[in-house]
Amino acid sequence: MKTKAKVKKPPDLSKQTIRAAALRLIDEHGLAEFSTRKLGQALGCEAMAIYWYYPSKDALLDAVADLLMTGAGAALAPQPDWIGTLRAVAHAYRKIAHDHPNAFLLLATRRFASEDTFEFLDKLFELARAQGITDRVTARYYRVVSSYCSGFALNELAAPRGPQALRRKFPRVDAVSAWLDPQHLDELFSFGLELQLEALARERAR
């Protein structure tokens, strides 16, 4: 097996170019098909050369997660309305699933484990602390709201099952399912999110 010491450090690579290429590869072929060998081929280098920049595949995937979270991090920009900031972050997070459906699994199934993502969480939690919300309540709402956003996005990405003919055999299923169709998903997401944000605002009022 080749070691890093036997592989020259490519002069035209960087952490940024590697993680961007990794995201493109995952977007195109899916997370299950991703490997450093295929990434090396896409970059025109040996797979072992990637380890000059990332010590492991997990570290590289954490870097891709950081890249995905860029939009959500930008939504954390201070606003007079702190609930409005949280709303913007939630919608930006859901947008990641729309823009990168194959890569979104990285965020939905892996714990945040990098300095960039911890910095994002620190800013998010500081927003709650500035409103006088206790750490216990912050943890509770973070888990609930983040699980809702991830679950909703994953549900959107799931392939629809059951033909229309089967749905029409069950009148109540058919009637309710009409409101679960894609054209209503924006409204549904906002409905559930606002219930949680309103509850959080009430916690601050207490």
User: Over 60: is that where the pLDDT of 1 sits?
Assistant: no
**Which CATH number fits the domain 69-205, given the four candidates 3.40.50.9100, 3.40.50.300, 1.10.357.10, 3.60.10.10?**
1.10.357.10
Give the domain 4-67 fold.
Arc Repressor Mutant, subunit A (1.10.10)
For residue 120, give every residue at least 6 positions away whose Cβ sits within 8 Å of its Cβ, in sequence order, or none: 69, 72, 73, 76, 112
pTM, rounded to two decimals: 0.89
Question: What tens digit of pLDDT does each residue of 65-84 get?
Answer: 999 999 999 999 877 899 99
User: Over 90: is that where the pLDDT of 168 sits?
Assistant: no
Q: What's the longest Cα–Cα distance across the chain?
A: 67
For residue 39, give every residue at least 6 positions away whose Cβ sits within 8 Å of its Cβ, in sequence order, or none: 18, 21, 22, 25, 47, 50, 60
Question: What tens digit of pLDDT does each residue of 10-42 get?
Answer: 668 999 999 999 999 999 999 999 999 999 999
Domain ranges of the chain: 4-67, 69-205
